[in-house]
């Protein structure tokens, strides 16, 4: 379901929908708020539709994954590891991540880091593969210093063609974890009416940092 014009998939449009409904209810398009002064956004992806929309907003930051975290690679663009972000505390109104956390070795550190860099009342809007009727399916044991495969390895593709190992498929226990660290989380499922915006058979998570 990639858009012909911006190449954004259905999940990216779902995240845009939640950004609008949570921050700018009644606004029909992010282009109408792209230069909103004071709005600070961190996107864990680069060279996508969000960057095209917000590239002239001084509060928009984005990153590519690297263990060499904090290296500047463009205007408000850097290398980051979500387990150890280099941003200051309570810096952002919104953090966006798409189908990323299943690839984060220590996902708990990652979510805690996002909680840290969000302002009180800020939102983490994200997508992850999710099982809605059972606990997280652990594919790789990461408790020790080395990865130990529990299930046959599952790899997901990236836009540069590189295959990335999936450590897990999240389940209901993730919602308890997010609650315990201070998030209020709801899951938004696409509806029939969303099809006019190119959102099909999709779900996205909206986690608000409690005040």
pLDDT of residue 31: 85
Q: 185-207, pLDDT tens digit by residue?
A: 999 999 988 888 888 889 999 99
Confidence of residue 4 (pLDDT cuts 50, 70, 90): very low
Phi, psi of 107 (to 5 degrees): -65, -30
Find residue 53's DSSP bridge partners.
Answer: none
- Find all residues with CB under 8 Å of 94, minimum gap 6, and list them: 19, 23, 39, 40, 41, 42, 122, 123, 124, 125
> ∠109-111-117 over CA atoms, to 5°?
100
The structural domains of the chain, with segments of one domain joined by +, span: 10-129+183-209
Write the CB contacts of 53 (distance below 8 Å, at least 6 apart in sequence).
30, 31, 34
pLDDT at 17 over 50: yes
Is a pLDDT exceeding 60 seen at residue 167?
A: yes
Q: Which two tokens stand for residue 200?
A: 């099909």
- Model confidence over 125-137: pLDDT tens digits? 999 999 999 999 9
- Token digits of residue 192: 């029939």
Contacts of 178 (CB under 8 A, 6+ apart): 111, 185, 207
**Which CATH class for the 10-129+183-209 domain?**
alpha beta
The residue with tokens 């994200």 is 126
């Amino acid at each position: 379901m990639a858009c012909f014009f911006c190449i954004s998939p259905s999940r990216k449009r779902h995240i845009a929908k939640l950004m609008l409904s949570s921050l700018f209810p009644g606004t029909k398009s992010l282009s109408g708020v792209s230069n909103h002064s004071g709005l600070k956004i961190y996107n864990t992806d680069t060279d996508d539709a969000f960057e095209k929309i917000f590239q002239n907003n001084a509060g928009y930051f984005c990153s590519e994954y690297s263990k060499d975290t904090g290296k500047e690679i463009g205007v408000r663009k850097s290398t980051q590891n979500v387990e150890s972000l280099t941003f200051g505390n309570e810096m952002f109104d919104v953090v966006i991540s798409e189908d990323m956390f299943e690839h984060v070795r220590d996902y708990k550190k990652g979510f805690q880091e996002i909680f840290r860099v969000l302002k009180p009342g800020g939102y983490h809007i994200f997508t992850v593969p999710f099982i809605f009727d059972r606990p997280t399916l652990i594919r790789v044991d990461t408790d020790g210093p080395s990865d130990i495969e529990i299930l046959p390895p599952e790899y997901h593709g990236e836009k540069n063609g590189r295959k990335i190992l999936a450590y897990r498929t999240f389940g209901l226990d993730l919602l308890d974890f997010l609650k315990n660290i201070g998030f209020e989380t709801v899951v938004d499922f696409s509806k029939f009416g969303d099809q006019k915006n190119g959102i099909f058979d999709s779900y996205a998570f909206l986690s608000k940092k409690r005040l």
